Amino acid sequence: MQKNLSIVKKLSYKGEEIEYHLSFKSQKYIRLKVVDKKIIITAPIQAEDWEIERLIYKNINKITKLISVQAAMFKINEGQGFVKIFGEDKIAYFTKNPTIDQPGYVFKIYETEQETIKKMYKKLSIIHHNNFLKVINNWKAYMNLDFKNLSVKEIKGKWGVCYPDKSKIVLNIRLIHYPIQALEYVVVHELAHLVHKNHSKSFWNYVGSILPNYKNISEILKVGAI
The Cα–Cα gap between 128 and 154 comes to 13
User: Among residues 183, 209, 189, which one has the least CA distance to residue 86?
Assistant: 183
The Cα–Cα gap between 85 and 128 comes to 10
The Cα–Cα gap between 104 and 98 comes to 12
Domain boundaries, the chain: 6-71, 74-123, 129-222
The fold of 129-222 is Zincin-like (3.30.2010)
Alpha-carbon distances of 38 from 34, 145, 225, rounded to whole Å? 5, 39, 14
Please list the pLDDT of the chain residue by residue as tens digits (226 residues).
Answer: 445 567 999 999 998 899 999 999 989 999 999 989 999 999 999 999 999 999 999 999 999 989 998 999 999 988 899 999 999 999 999 999 877 666 679 999 999 999 999 999 999 999 999 999 999 999 999 999 988 899 999 998 899 999 999 999 999 999 999 999 999 999 999 999 999 999 999 999 999 999 999 999 999 888 655 5
Is residue 149 within 8 A of residue 169, CB to CB? The reply is yes
Angle in degrees, CA 33, 39, 78, rounded to 5 = 120
